[in-house]
Structure 1
């Protein structure tokens, strides 16, 4: 993880610094169930735990996790959160399932300003589209890695911005880091 990810806090009198981590669910299985009810595949269960360890490595102490209600996202979160040193408040949000970019931005705008570190566990194409939309700037090799891998299952992007959640819009953030299980 880059130094930008692990450095936290704000200088006195500066605007509030915030981070958003966008985590795509791990690899799902394809049994004869509705898309919403698809569980993780064995590879996905392994990916979810590894993603949790990598999230722990970022040093980010999440204040809130927003998780899609789909089975594969809930299972990803259940396995990943066990790897974190601190369990954040978790809200299971129906609107994350099959959300458009506009719907995802609207959800971010609803985040309470007491939250500085937000984790969103969702689906593609939404997680990749949101990371691309928010990243007005980037640090290091993160954008090249994200472009190369295309935001596969179990991947996450870390974005930083300053200001209120109500001000989150296209280009407001900096892509600080990106990780994928098979990167």
Structure 2
């Protein structure tokens, strides 16, 4: 019997304020506080409900998830992982490979360039022109990419996914 399809959604944090000395402690800007609920509404409208949310410990990621998560029909189990802050490509793949097998739908709330790289790398194929859209846009604040994976989490590697949705907030 084949492996069940899993989904991973990648949500880049919303626009952050530049008014803080510490990058890790930067909160969302007014614009970011508008973008995050819009991303949550898009996730809800597209039937995305998560068994697990992994978020960076950065303040802007935590605030993004708090505001976006309020738009979903049910709360999701959330884990804040400091490895998502300034994660390298190999860090992100390792995090995915550590996800428990009982998780079918996962959301990662993190940063660029890591999330853009991960979406591009995992997408061995894409529906329509989604991959071109992803690469042209550069994965802006509050962008969401959704990939379907026909592999166990421990088997995640380059090209195993299919990019099935991509959304960016209105300008």
| TM tier, smaller | over 0.9
RMSD value, Cα: 1.0
Please report the TM-score for the alignment, with normalisation by the length of structure 1. Answer: 0.91
| 2:6 aligned with 1:15 | no
| 2:95 aligned with 1:107 | yes
Please report the TM-score for the alignment, with normalisation by the length of structure 2. Answer: 0.97
| Counterpart Cα distance in 2 of 1:85 and 1:141 | 30
Q: CA deviation at 1:87?
A: 1.1
Given that 2:9 and 2:106 are in contact with CA atoms closer than 8 Å, whether structure 1 keeps it comes out as: yes
Q: In terms of mean alpha carbon deviation, does 162-171 or 138-147 score higher?
A: 138-147
Instruction: Kindly provide the CA deviation profile for residues 72-113 of structure 1, in whole angstroms up to 9, marking residues without a partner as x.
Output: 000000000000011110000110000000000000000000
Name which of 119, 134, 138 aligns with 1:131.
Answer: 119
Unaligned stretches of 5+ residues in structure 2: none
Instruction: Kindly provide the CA deviation profile for residues 31-74 of structure 1, in whole angstroms up to 9, marking residues without a partner as x.
Output: 13200000000000000010000011110221000000000000
Corresponding residue of 1:158:
146
Alignment coverage as a number of residue pairs: 171
Q: In terms of mean alpha carbon deviation, does 140-149 or 119-128 score higher?
A: 140-149
| 2:12 aligned with 1:24 | yes
**Segments ≥4 residues shifted beyond 4 Å:** none
